[in-house]
Chain A
């Protein structure tokens, strides 16, 4: 037995426990279950519910298992008459003030209090006096409150203190008058705050959009993957008669632990938006008319057959599945269309030939919290990838030094060692100079004039260590007008300091888009192309004859492509929604399914392949995207295109990838655009997308659109 293991006895069985472990952690490894409300493995110990009282030999009183450390030779009895009596007495106290309206409570059927009351509660209450009533609070459009049901376990309060860092909820008053409150009337706005719904052991804090619409036992739980950021959080969707009713986290320590962002939790509402396109539509004499699937597909194939190859483009959302990307890439190869892209919000494509084959985080998501120094460049990390933001916060709490280089100032709920605001490039040059680095050839003149500021020197000093460190480029750096400069300078700094360079990409499957060759300059698995297609900005400027939009909304998903620019083009839109932008620009609209209605695979930012199946019934006549693409391909007479399921597409992808292995080293970045000094060192207008507008499903999620975050539309 090693030194930090000791032997204890639980209900007569000998158990090995770690020194300093609490009794409840030791008993959880055995079959002896100790009832608990306030204890949660991800939160600190409060020991205020007293439900986990157990008998310990030679202890004068029952002890709370969650707050008593184990000691060698300890004899613990979790089910002795003495322990059960203590637990039953606690239960009776808890039930004094708890309302007995389980039939109307949304927690009914999945309530920890209800479950434990089955085992430890009395059949009949001995309490005949008035019960406590607490006024409900309005804490925003996402979380409903029934504060009378609260048993004061303070999990939500500790979550705010320890996980989000925002103390929105707290306890006020004492004893009988104690209540959980925001103190001043306010909504809880942190991007992870809705996790208190899962934490609450009773029905006090619950899911507001889901309120009263279903019961836990009648829904079917399906595993799926969240589709709004490059993290790919694991989620469960609860489905009632083919309709997604709510989304809850699926525990995966490697990615999202037990949390998910509010965005992933409430986006399902977008599936049932009124703006869903219900059937294929065609524009005739400026009037939208319904058309059958068959006629619509034939119409599209005829258009695709005659189109001038150079004058057609395919634009796909970065949220498309791997299978959809693959079919799009094969379709455009067949039609020899080289204008194909999924990087819809990017501006600077000058150095794209030196792109990494797949832009990745460079390390596993779970490893971020072990880094000792993290520099985040051009990213509002909390909004772009809330789970990665949380990991960075965990790193900061365990002593990592965080540097942030960004043009605008965002709020972080941890100590930021150095915050370099204003020009990203200016700051990177200053940092490079403070690190005594060599500038790229073309920037030598500018570099001479740069004198590192104190703050930049401080960050350089922090980075001058041998610890594990990470340099992350976010959306604002990727979509920056001088993205290639930022990338080159960041790579230089990373090389100098030994940091791992990583990218936070847009959408849930940008890695898949790169791998499948949905790019103008690359083919399948990063192969180089003979003809390099137009970039997004060139596509927007030149009036192309035909545009195939795959869930990419002009103006919203593709900011550079406005409705006026598309008047002369024939636009075929495969879209789940019929928004104004589509109605004015498109000529044919085909309804495709959202992430819940289609099966597929996402590759997240740590190159983890996660497949999921379609879980909800399709809305209207919509079909999964891959099926529509397959039908188009078959009508075009493509060979070996008869896929029967998305799995068979995936099989073909895996087979082809096996045959073409791919190097994954980060390439040497270079500078290819002329650098104008005045412009370069200033701050730039980067198209900054509010958190709840990054993709079409989110834009249609009613409750998320009611949050203060959604009404904040600041672009810097």
Chain B
């Protein structure tokens, strides 16, 4: 009896139809994949991507070279040198983040008393030459300037939970 059933199923391509039914079912199911890079998934405002250094609205650098981010960094990715600036304040003369070392944990952002170092939503970046993995102070400030609106908005959204 069992043999007979199997014999008929073989003739009718039963297992093929069974498989194709899954295909058919999924054909009408709503899609979860997107067309990257044309389409993008929604991102959390807390996304931890590329770093940026922020400025105050009047253009003054926020970073005060307290070196708390350097101390808290578990991957030792941050290197800071500091000195007295022309106006007598404490400022960094060097602020390097090694992106190869960084594990994007966000501790630097947590440690910063003045919200200067932040991790932005940017995650689409690449390096072409050796040494480009070092984010210098200028590069970090440039990112901060470019995405200032976004960062400010994200910070404001997160403010009530802090």
Contacts and interface: CB of A to CB of B under 8 A. Distances in A.
Contacts of A559: none
B71 A104 contact: no
Contacts of A108: 66
A275 interface: no
A609 interface: no
A215 B68 CA distance: 9
Nearest to B66: A103
Contacts of A214: 82
A103 B71 CA distance: 12
Interface in A200-243: 211-215, 217-218
Interface string A181-214: 0000000000000000000000000000001111
Interface string B63-74: 011111011000
A215 B80 CA distance: 11
Residue of B66, B83, B113 most packed against chain A (CB within 10 A): B66
B70 A103 contact: no
Contacts of B65: 104, 212
A218 B71 CA distance: 8
A217 B111 CA distance: 15
**A interface residue count range (under 10 / 10 to 19 / 20 to 34 / 35 or more):** 10 to 19
B90 interface: yes
Interface string B26-43: 000000000000000000
B113 A218 contact: no
B92 to A, nearest CB: 10
B114 interface: yes
Contacts of B89: 104
Contacts of A211: 84
Contacts of A217: 71
A217 B71 CA distance: 8
Given A104-B90, A212-B65, A218 B70 contact: yes
Nearest to A144: B84
B152 to A, nearest CB: 22
Given A103-B64, A103-B114, A212 B71 contact: no
Nearest to B68: A103
A219 to B, nearest CB: 11
Contacts of B114: 103
A103 B84 contact: no
Nearest to B82: A212
Contact of A212 (B68, B70, B90, B113): B90
Contacts of A104: 64-66, 89-90
- What does DSSP make chain B's interface, helix, strand, loop or mixed? mixed
B66 A212 contact: no
Given A103-B113, A103-B114, A104-B90, A212 B84 contact: yes
Interface residues of B, number: 16
Interface in B68-108: 68, 70-71, 81-84, 89-91
Contacts of B68: 103
Nearest to A240: B81
A20 B82 CA distance: 49
A706 to B, nearest CB: 15
A670 B154 CA distance: 88
A215 B64 contact: no
Nearest to A106: B90
A176 B113 CA distance: 29
A517 B70 CA distance: 51
A618 B90 CA distance: 28
A640 to B, nearest CB: 45
Contact of A218 (B67, B84, B90): B67
A212 B91 CA distance: 8
Contacts of B71: 215, 217-218
Nearest to A136: B88
Contacts of B66: 103-104, 108, 215
A525 to B, nearest CB: 48
A213 B113 CA distance: 19
Contacts of B113: 103
Contacts of B70: 218
A108 B113 CA distance: 13
A158 to B, nearest CB: 30
A413 B104 CA distance: 60
A104 B81 CA distance: 14
Contact of B83 (A103, A212, A215, A218): A212
Interface string A71-104: 0000000000000000000000000000000011
Interface string B112-140: 01100000000000000000000000000
Nearest to B93: A213
A211 B64 CA distance: 13
Nearest to A100: B113
A104 B92 CA distance: 11
A215 B67 CA distance: 7
Contacts of A215: 66-67, 71
Nearest to B64: A104
B19 to A, nearest CB: 63
A104 B82 CA distance: 11
Nearest to B70: A218
A213 B82 contact: yes
Contacts of B91: 212
Contacts of A212: 65, 82-84, 90-91
Nearest to A212: B90
A103 B64 CA distance: 8
A217 B70 CA distance: 11
A213 B83 contact: yes
A124 to B, nearest CB: 15
A103 B91 CA distance: 12
Which 8 A-B residue pairs are closest in the complex by CB-CB distance? A103-B66, A212-B90, A104-B90, A103-B113, A215-B67, A104-B64, A212-B84, A212-B82
29 contacts: A103-B64, A103-B66, A103-B68, A103-B113, A103-B114, A104-B64, A104-B65, A104-B66, A104-B89, A104-B90, A108-B66, A211-B84, A212-B65, A212-B82, A212-B83, A212-B84, A212-B90, A212-B91, A213-B81, A213-B82, A213-B83, A214-B82, A215-B66, A215-B67, A215-B71, A217-B71, A218-B67, A218-B70, A218-B71
Given A103-B66, A218-B70, 13 more contacts: A103-B64, A103-B113, A103-B114, A104-B90, A108-B66, A211-B84, A212-B82, A212-B84, A212-B90, A213-B81, A213-B82, A213-B83, A215-B66
